[in-house]
Every structure is written in C-alpha cells, then in structure tokens.
C-alpha cells in the first residue's frame, strides 16, 4: 500500500471534493495577511504526483474548484496553476487550459531541472506562447529548479557526478539565466536536504528514506542514516548569498561572448560533453547608479 497522500488528488468522490474545498477555504482564511500565494498541487503532469494517470483536463477542473475554494477564504489570494515538471508536456498543458482554468489563476509555474541553462530560454518562450493563446495576463514563474550536492541521493539529475562546488555553480548559472527572462520570480529546490517519500510504502521504512541532497543547507545524520534536524551551510548557500546582492538589477543587452577552449569528449557522468561552445551564455547586470557586473 502506498503511504500517505502524495500523488493522490481528492477528486473521485463528493466527500473528497467537499473535504478538499473546506480545507483550502480554511487555509486561505487562516493565513490571510501572511500567505498571499497558493500553488495548486505539485507536478500533476508526472505519474509520481498524479498516480492514477496524468490527465490535463482532470487537473484543469481541479484547479477551478481549488481556486474557488481559496478565494472563498480570501478573495485576494494569488492563485498559481500548472506546477509543470515536463518541459515538453504541451498536450497536457493545452488540455489543462482548455478547461477554462485560465480564468481562475494568476500565474503558471514550471519546474525545470535542466542539464544546460540554454534550455531555460526555450522553455520560457514555449510556455509563454501557449499561455498567450488563452490569457496573456497570466504571469509565468520558475517554481522549482535545482541540483544535488552529492550523487548518493535520490531525485532529479541525481546520477551526475555532483559535489558542493558543482551545485554552487549550477545555482549561479540557472538563477542568472532566469533573471534575464520575463518570469515573475525564480525558486530553488530546496532550503534543506530532505526526504521526499514519493514512492514510500507503509511498513517499509527504507522505501521512504529517499533523501535528496538539493538543499543549500546540508542535513546532519546519525549513525543509522537518519537526519537529526541540524544543518550546515553548503557552498551554494554562500553563492546565493552573494548573488542576492544583484537582486532587482537590470540585465545588460548585447553582452559579447568570450572565446573559450572546447572539450568535445563525451562523458556520461556529466550527461554529455563537458563544455560545448554553443551552450555558453554570458550575461551582465547594471544597477541604478551605472555599476555593472558580468
């Protein structure tokens, strides 16, 4: 038996739907003045989070009902739909929007765990084009991205040859690329290393001890491999701290790309060729007094 409610949406019976609506209304009421944004479900276009079979129409109708419940609790909430994990989930996304849920949300989020920052630009353009067909006023948000600091864990990109320094570099590269796009804001997964328990089964402890080392704060473990609730800063923590000094700055236009040496040897542990010249991106930022950073 699957443990918990991960990936099991409350959409099958009248009792489930009413219970979910009451819960969402109460949450919006309780956190009024404290929490203004609500993202509806997590990665519903993935079988790990919509376990009975992904269905864009089904999710779109769920978004409509959930948005109404949230706004019954607080009419001013900012409602976010999508939470899309697949960059190429075009048909699913279209089916979602065709339900009319675009009239009930303020933004769409996508979760892009990318092996190269060049994919970010194309993903934003693709999502924006589809959204504009239905409601151009809907904003776009990078709701989740990241990479682990160790290859010993579970989750997206976990088979790579990761360490803390590589994680810090990816954080800087992805966030800087995000800042050059039109998205409202970007998000990193996650603050701390943690268990996701996406495939946990009742009575099988090891099945849900699927630690992911995605945090900018690293978990400390006891002799049995369990987190003790203490954390330490990783290199990515300090990288993000320094990057935040440029928050809100204006991207520079027409920044020239330097000539770099190219290593064309394929390496499975880095998902391909370590450096391809055509994938190198260079961005700059400028603040109000004219100071620039490249």
Distance of CA 85 to the CA centre of its chain: 8
pLDDT given at position 260: 47
pLDDT given at position 1: 42
Distance CA 82, CA 63 (A): 9
Could you give the angle at the alpha carbon of 123 between the alpha carbons of 247 and 7, nearest 5°?
Answer: 95
pLDDT given at position 286: 80
Q: Is 77 exposed, middle or buried (0-12, 13-18, 19+ CB in 10 A)?
A: buried
E strand map for the chain: 37-39, 78-84, 107-111, 139-144, 194-195, 211-212, 217-221, 227-233, 250-251, 285-286, 292-293
Listed as ranges, residues in the chain with pLDDT below 70 are 1-4, 87-88, 197-201, 205-208, 225, 247-249, 253-280
DSSP helix/strand/coil, 265: coil
DSSP helix/strand/coil, 73: helix
HSE-CB of 68 using CA atoms within 13 angstroms:
11
Q: Which token pair is 120?
A: 């970010």
Q: What is the largest CA-CA distance in the chain?
A: 63
Q: Find where tokens 């709701």 sit.
A: 143
pLDDT given at position 271: 66
Distance CA 274, CA 285 (A): 26
Distance CA 159, CA 150 (A): 9
pTM equals 0.85
Distance of CA 291 to the CA centre of its chain: 31
């Amino acid at each position: 038996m699957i443990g918990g409610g991960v990936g099991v949406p409350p959409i099958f019976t009248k009792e489930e739907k009413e219970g979910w609506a009451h819960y969402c209304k109460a949450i919006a009421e309780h956190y009024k003045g404290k929490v203004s944004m609500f993202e509806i479900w997590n990665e519903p276009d993935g079988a790990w989070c919509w376990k009975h079979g992904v269905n864009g129409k089904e999710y779109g109708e769920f978004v409509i009902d959930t948005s109404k419940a949230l706004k019954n609790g607080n009419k001013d909430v900012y409602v976010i739909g999508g939470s899309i994990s697949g960059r190429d989930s075009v048909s699913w996304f279209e089916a979602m929007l065709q339900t009319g849920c675009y009239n009930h949300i303020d933004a769409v989020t996508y979760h892009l765990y990318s092996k190269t920052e060049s994919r970010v630009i194309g993903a934003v353009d693709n999502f924006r084009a589809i959204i504009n067909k239905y409601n151009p006023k809907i904003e776009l948000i990078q709701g989740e991205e990241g990479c682990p600091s160790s290859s010993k864990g579970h989750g997206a990109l976990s088979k790579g040859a990761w360490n803390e320094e590589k994680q810090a570099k990816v954080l800087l590269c992805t966030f800087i690329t995000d800042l050059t796009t039109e998205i409202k804001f970007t998000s990193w997964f996650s603050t701390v290393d943690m268990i996701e328990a996406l495939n946990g089964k009742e009575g099988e402890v090891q099945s849900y001890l699927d630690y992911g080392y995605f945090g900018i704060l690293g978990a400390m473990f006891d002799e049995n491999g369990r987190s003790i609730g203490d954390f330490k800063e990783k290199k990515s923590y300090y990288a993000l701290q320094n990057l935040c000094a440029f928050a809100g700055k204006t991207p520079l236009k027409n920044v020239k790309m330097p000539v770099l040496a190219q290593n064309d040897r394929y390496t499975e542990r880095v998902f391909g060729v370590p450096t391809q010249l055509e994938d190198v991106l260079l961005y700059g930022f400028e603040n109000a007094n004219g100071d620039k950073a490249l």
